[in-house]
Every structure is written in C-alpha cells, then in structure tokens.
Amino acid sequence: MNNWPRYETYHLHELEESLIKINEEERPEEANYIRELIEKGGYKFPSEEYGSEENTTIRVEGIGGWLILPIIGLFLTPIISSFQLINVVLPSFEATTWAALTTQGSPAYHPVWAPYLIYGLIATIILIISAIALLIILFKKLSILPSLIIVYFIFILATALVDNTIYYTVILDAFPQLGASMQSELTQQLIRALIGTTIWVPYFIKSERVKNTFVN
C-alpha cells in the first residue's frame, strides 16, 4: 500500500504541478499514476480559483444585468410624476380652473371632468408612492418584490388605457381643439406602458437573477 497523496481529488493544474515536483526516476509508479489522472482531466468539480466554464454553473444574483433598467425607471418615476403633479394635475384644482371645468353652463364644462381629474390626481399619487416603496423593497431584496412590481407595471398600463379610452370616447368629441397635442402625448404613454409590461412582467416571472436575488 502506497502513501501517496490522494491525487484522485486533485484538479488538473494541481496534478501537473505535482508531476513537476516529484523525482520520476525515484518514483516512476507515482509519476505514471499522475499522468493517467492528467489524461482523464483531473478532478471534475471546479476549484474556487480554477473553475472552468464547462464544469461551473454560474449563479446569477444581485443588483445588476437587465435588472438595472427597471430600477432606473423606478428612480425616474417619482421625479417625472411629481413634476407632472405640480405643473399639470394640481393646477386643475385651482378654484377658477376647477369652476370652469365643472360648472354647468361654462364653455369648458363636461360632466366627465370632475371624476377624471380626481382619478388623475389619485393615480399620480399612487404612482409616486408605489415607485418609492418598490425601491425600498428592492434594495432590501424582499421576496415579495417580483409580485408587487408586476402589479405596478399592470397598473401603469391600466391607467394608460383609461386615459386613452376617456380621450377617444369623450374628450375628443367634446373638445376637438385639444386633439393633436393631447392625442400624441396619450399615444406615447400607452406605447411606453405596453412595451414596459410586455418586457418586464415576463422578466420578473422567469429571470434567474430575480429568483436568486429577492429571497428575504
């Protein structure tokens, strides 16, 4: 029985180093045994330092890769939506503007304005709060994140569909002068929402990075 090291547990690079170090004239059997193991490729499980792509399964996790893109979107959403809230939504609730839009007999009156403006205010606030909340949940890597962010993208698509539906069924007929500018903005909003939902909902369902990252 020999007292050789357990060469069968050596990786290829370790076998090659061992063969260089031993005296083959004094230990020919040991040298031949090492050569046989080298021909077989050495120990098949990868070492921490010398793992090969063939034998190593890379675990993809953490904040990175394609996940960066929706994170950027979550950072931008509160900024853009807050700007819209301050400059577009809230001015509609100023006394003179609100009266002009919601008082019967006013040239700008329509019964849909009051509920539509209130809906717009609530939807914008929800969007801002939900984006901030999702960022907190995301960086805590909570397991609930994928489900919540899917709901978030569906909510964005739903609001875009509601806006376009109200525009084409009510506003366009009642106020054709709003046509071109409002139509272009709403169409872009719907296209962005459709693209976002189509890309990111499947991503958060199937992504290995998502499954390995949000585990807390």
The pLDDT tens digits of the residues spanning 107-116 come to 888 888 899 9
Do 30 and 86 sit in the same domain of this protein? no
Q: What is the pLDDT of residues 11-46, one digit of tens each?
A: 777 888 888 887 777 888 888 888 888 888 776 655
| Inter-residue long-range contacts of 2-11, CB under 8 Å, 24+ positions, other chains counted | 2/29, 2/30, 4/30, 4/33, 7/33, 7/34, 7/37, 8/37, 8/43, 9/43, 10/37, 10/42, 10/43, 11/42, 11/43, 11/46, 11/47, 11/50
Q: Can you give the residue range of the structural domain that contains 31?
A: 1-58
Q: Which residues of the chain have pLDDT under 50?
A: 47-56
**Domain count of the fold of the chain:** 2
pTM of this prediction? 0.69
Do 110 and 21 sit in the same domain of this protein? no
Do 149 and 180 sit in the same domain of this protein? yes
